[in-house]
Amino acid sequence: MNTTLLSFFPKLFNPVWLTGPLLDKELRVSSRRRRNYVLRFAYVLFLTIFVAIVWLSVVKFQGTAAYQKSRMSLAGKTIITTIVMFQFIATQLIAIIMLSTSISDEIYHRTLGVLMTTPITSFQIVIGKLFSKLLQLILLLAISLPLLAIVRIFGGVPWDYVLSSLCITLTAVIFSGSLSLFFSIGNRRAYVVIIKTVFTLGVLFAFFPTVFGVLFALLSRNFAPILRSLGNVTPILMVLLAHFNPFGAMSLNTAAMMSPTMPAGMPSFYWPLHCVFMLGCSALLIAISIKVVRKVALRQAVGQLDLTSKRKYRKQKKALPKAPGVQEPAGLIRRVKGSPVLWKELRAPIIQGAEGRNSIIGLAVTIAALLLTYATCAKEKCLDMDFTHIAYTLMFMLIGLIFNMVLSATCITSEKESRAWPILLATSMNDWQILWGKAVGVFRRCLPIWFLLAGHIILFVSVRYIHPIAIVHMFMLIAGLVVFLTCVGIYFSILFKRTTSAVVANFALAVVLWIIVPALLGLVTSTISRDKVEVFEAYVSANPVVQATTIMGGTGGQRNAKTKLSKLDFNWLSGNHSEGISSTTTLLLITTLIHISAGFLFAWRAKCRLRRNIF
């Protein structure tokens, strides 16, 4: 008895029983993967560039020494908030991508059932997978701590803000990673997990707060005397909602640091309460994941390789012929016509693994939410203003570009991970037929998002709130971007073996081309001669966000919609100069041709590497 107690208490206080040997195995594998070191290098590089941009924008070197010293406190605050927001967004995205295949790899490699024959429990499987990836992200957060400590010497930033921001970021990362791990149990493809996780986070932390704000604004108008008698309710509701929303929590925490004197009647925000709530939600997701993983693992352990749900099983059972000797009618066989890859991609579902009913429900919810925002804008009388259509256009375009980057970067890595890529290359199809079929499949799956953008523009062109030339301009812009991003994504999908690496590389290229380089050029233009500035302005004018903003700024709104085509005015580069319809169309045409040419170059490189490093 004494021996049992003596052996029990060391195990109880030893954290190894939580994770088991799976965490040790994952850490040993991660330490040998080159992409983890590349990830840390890229994280430090991007962080350094952002800090340099903020530093140069706040501290002006042309001033006197006294002026520069007076700006140090502001520079410290700005740099620290930039670092905090950068790691808050970046680590969540990395967590979603890294955990998108955490359980699905074990399921579809048929190793999850083998793990259940060992003393390893489903609890240790889930916790080991989660902690092994989170440890890599904790290392990324630890990288920024010395920089935060050094910049804090400038003054104006308390240690409380550094500690609270790290805790809010860490709990948000744990929740995002737990959600991605949960979706990876029932979805084989990484891009499906990424899309579902991002969509769920958007609904929870963006859509629901927006709907609540709209409803509260409507109620405040109809029941103004009652709400006025209760006092100033708006700040209380804002702080209350921030305790359940990591983005609101980070915003309030940063606002409290930037302006320590809060307005009168503003309640206090307790960041530990928010962290406890997020950890509780993460624990709930982990508990559900443990239960589902145990069921799936036991089904594999007993030899049930078909992991379809009961509903699908019943449908398949009903579709079988009643008599065992009766064969399926020949009329039900679908004949392959043309390229097999293209035939298969055209008949594949928009999102692999998603049922038709779920797709219809998601589409209906999206349209209902969009109509609700239109009704709100109409009530506020801002549908006839250009900034409204700029916001809608940027939202649809950015969502479409994200879908395009994710789907194109996973179209071939998914074949490699399922071990079907060598079989596909062994067929009689040539390289261009395979690439063309994959590219058409990516474009088809992105069509619903582009239909939302096209529907928005066509709808408001018909009611004379957008000029019809916007249809031509936006088509030119989107066509070039789709060709470029699809070809680049397919190239990275061939270059890398893992979906995570391909998606990260595709996003990194877009961030470098359209965010980091323009930001650096914006700082360089203030210190060089005027004749060189025009070259940099031309590069910034090719930015998709700048072009979409300029197009809708020149064609959106009731005033621009009723203007003659020859009198339209497009303000480029924040109004530094204006261009007419001919110059704007020429610039968009040149940019589109450049994007298409660069895309074809990446497609050619993808064709050259198609049959290298197959296994």
Identify whether residues 82 and 219 lie together within a single domain.
Answer: yes
Tally of residues, the chain: 615
Q: Out of 301, 320, 348, pick the residue that ends a domain.
A: 301
**What percent of the chain is modeled with pLDDT above 70?**
76
Q: Out of 279, 301, 323, pick the residue that ends a domain.
A: 301
Q: Out of 278, 301, 324, pick the residue that ends a domain.
A: 301
Task: Note the helical H segments in 305-428.
Answer: 310-319, 340-347, 356-380, 386-410, 413-417, 421-425
Q: pLDDT tens digits for 296-330?
A: 777 766 665 444 444 554 554 554 454 444 444 44
End-to-end Cα separation, the chain, in angstroms: 55
> In terms of Cα–Cα distance, which of 485, 477, 454 is closest to 392?
454
How many CB atoms lie under 10 A from the CB of residue 577? 10
Please give the Cα distance from 239 to 266 (Å, whole number). Answer: 8
> Which residue segment(s) compose the domain that 143 sits in?
14-301
233, part of any domain: yes
Beta bridge partners of 466: 556
Question: Reduced to 3 states, what is the DSSP secondary structure of residue 573?
Answer: coil
Global pTM value: 0.75
Identify whether residues 284 and 429 lie together within a single domain.
Answer: no
Identify whether residues 295 and 388 lie together within a single domain.
Answer: no
Identify whether residues 197 and 51 lie together within a single domain.
Answer: yes
Please give the Cα distance from 503 to 408 (Å, whole number). Answer: 9
Please give the Cα distance from 127 to 178 (Å, whole number). Answer: 10
347, part of any domain: no
Q: pLDDT tens digits for 177-187?
A: 999 999 888 77
Residue 94: the pLDDT is 85
Which residue ranges of the chain lie beneath pLDDT 70? 1-19, 57-73, 108-109, 154-156, 214, 216-235, 260-267, 300-334, 348-363, 522-536, 573-578, 615
Identify whether residues 147 and 52 lie together within a single domain.
Answer: yes
491, part of any domain: yes
Instruction: Answer for the pair 441, 525: CB distance below 8 angstroms, yes or no.
Output: no
522, part of any domain: yes
**Count of structural domains, the chain:** 2
7, part of any domain: no
**Structure token pair of residue 578:** 């204006």
Identify whether residues 276 and 411 lie together within a single domain.
Answer: no
Q: pLDDT tens digits for 366-395?
A: 777 778 788 777 777 788 888 888 888 998
